[in-house]
Amino acid sequence: MSDKLHIPRITKDVLKKYKFHLTKGLGQNFLIDGDVIDNICNAAEINKDDNVLEIGPGIGTLTQHLCEKAKKVVSIEIDRQLEAIHHETLPYNNLTLIYDDFMKVDLIKLFNDHFLKEKVKVVANIPYYITTPIVMRLLEERLPLNSITVMVQKEVANRFSSLPGSKDYGSITVVIRYFADTKLAFIVPSIVFIPQPKVDSAVIVMKLHEHPPVQLDDENLFFKLVKGAFGQRRKTLVNSVSGTVPEIKKDELLAIITKLGFNPAIRGEKLSIHDFALIANELNRLSESAQRL
Ligand code: SAM
């Protein structure tokens, strides 16, 4: 490995040598702890057969370890100022650097060109200002992914991995659960970054399902129901959904949840993904039979 960037003095020297000014708006908090980086690679179970996609290499601290451990790494960085630094810190034959905004990259093309349709693991210390858009884009584009192992704010990690009934449980938890099993791997204190963020972080591992955990007759209706259920969190499921999703009729939803044996005053936060799927499929059956009449 070229000079080990996880040693704080080396990171500081690199930043000084290149007169690099950190951009707060891009979430530039660089890791300076070798153990945390090893733990990230272990949580992602990276080995020499693996293709890895990294989002936001920064000066290349995690990237160095990924290149040492994986078969191939593609890393997308928005900040072109880092290119000169990468020439020094990332001399790896198995690495492709792409300077672009992750949210704008054509991911299907990138996967076809670089990973030849093989499965990929995402491993990244992602910028916190776009955590959810990044994760949702990775999931919704239905890319050939094995897993997503990312550092996020601790409170976001709790939201992504919580269970029904907990205060952190919300529509994003259910939507993510549809695509992957998510576990909080470990907590990361703010002192392992330069500069230190205001909040603690956590690494989560999302293992993508081969098949979704529930059978849905209409995915869009399911997603609308789930979002609507948490749209007005303090209200009952029926009131929250009918207040936020006009196409779902209040009396029909009430009739369906009663028929399925739920308490008519139940709130969305008490329902599992299986409960939401049951209700969404019943709503779909009802609208299909209404269309046939
Ligand atoms: N991986 C490095 C580390 O662990 O030290 C840096 C992580 S830092 C939290 C996030 C990185 O993402 C920064 O380098 C930042 O410039 C980059 N970034 C921010 N927004 C981005 C975007 N939309 N697309 C790609 N990279 C982005």
Pocket residue to mutate for ligand 1, from 37, 55, 90, 190, most atoms within 8 A of Cβ: 55
Calculate ∠ Cα 68-74-80, nearest 5°. 110
Looking at the fold, whether 249 and 136 belong to one and the same domain comes out as no
pLDDT of residue 1: 52
β-bridge partners, 78:
none
Please state the rounded mean pLDDT for residues 266-293.
91
Percent of the chain with pLDDT over 70: 98
Looking at the fold, whether 203 and 238 belong to one and the same domain comes out as no
pLDDT of residue 144: 97
Q: Is the CB–ligand 1 distance for residue 90 below 6 Å?
A: no
Domain with 273 in it: 219-292
Q: How many domains does the chain have?
A: 2
CATH number of the domain enclosing 285: 1.10.8.100
Closest CA to 276 of 178, 181, 182: 178
Looking at the fold, whether 123 and 262 belong to one and the same domain comes out as no
Residues 172-207 pLDDT 10s: 999 999 999 999 999 999 999 999 999 999 999 999
pLDDT of residue 234: 86
Which amino acid belongs to residue 56? G
Last residue of a domain, one of 140, 174, 208: 208
pLDDT of residue 289: 78
In a domain, 213, yes or no: no
pLDDT of residue 3: 63
Contacts of 159 (CB under 8 A, 6+ apart): 168, 169, 170, 172, 173
3-state SS, residue 177: helix
Please state the rounded mean pLDDT for residues 255-279.
97
In a domain, 1, yes or no: no
Q: Is the CB–ligand 1 distance for residue 32 below 6 Å?
A: no
Q: Please identify which residue in the block is written with the tokens 């990294």.
A: 54
Looking at the fold, whether 234 and 170 belong to one and the same domain comes out as no
pLDDT of residue 293: 63
CB 197 within 8 A of CB 190: yes
Pocket residue to mutate for ligand 1, from 18, 33, 79, most atoms within 8 A of Cβ: 79
pLDDT of residue 93: 97
Q: Is the CB–ligand 1 distance for residue 56 below 6 Å?
A: yes
In a domain, 282, yes or no: yes
pLDDT of residue 238: 96
Last residue of a domain, one of 143, 173, 208: 208
Cis geometry, peptide bond prior to residue 195 (ω within 30 degrees of 0): yes
Looking at the fold, whether 101 and 245 belong to one and the same domain comes out as no
Q: What is the dihedral of CA 8, 14, 16, 22, to 10 degrees?
A: -80
Residues 78-101 pLDDT 10s: 999 999 999 999 999 999 999 999
Is pLDDT at 135 greater than 60 in this prediction? yes
Looking at the fold, whether 101 and 194 belong to one and the same domain comes out as yes
In a domain, 170, yes or no: yes
Tokens encoding 63: 């990237």
Please state the rounded mean pLDDT for residues 252-262.
96
Is pLDDT at 217 greater than 70 in this prediction? yes
Give the Å distance between the CA of 29 and the centre of ligand 1: 8
Looking at the fold, whether 253 and 158 belong to one and the same domain comes out as no
Looking at the fold, whether 204 and 223 belong to one and the same domain comes out as no
Ligand 1: atom nearest CA of 58 is 14
Q: Is the CB–ligand 1 distance for residue 127 below 6 Å?
A: yes
Tokens encoding 292: 């046939």
Strand (E) or helix (H) holding 6: none
Is pLDDT at 102 greater than 70 in this prediction? yes
pTM across the whole model: 0.95
CATH number of the domain enclosing 96: 3.40.50.150
Q: Compute the mean pLDDT over every residue in the chain, rounded to the nearest whole number.
A: 95
Query: For residues 3 and 142, what is the distance between their CA atoms, to the nearest angstrom?
Result: 37
Q: How confident is the model at residue 117 (pLDDT cuts 50, 70, 90)?
A: confident
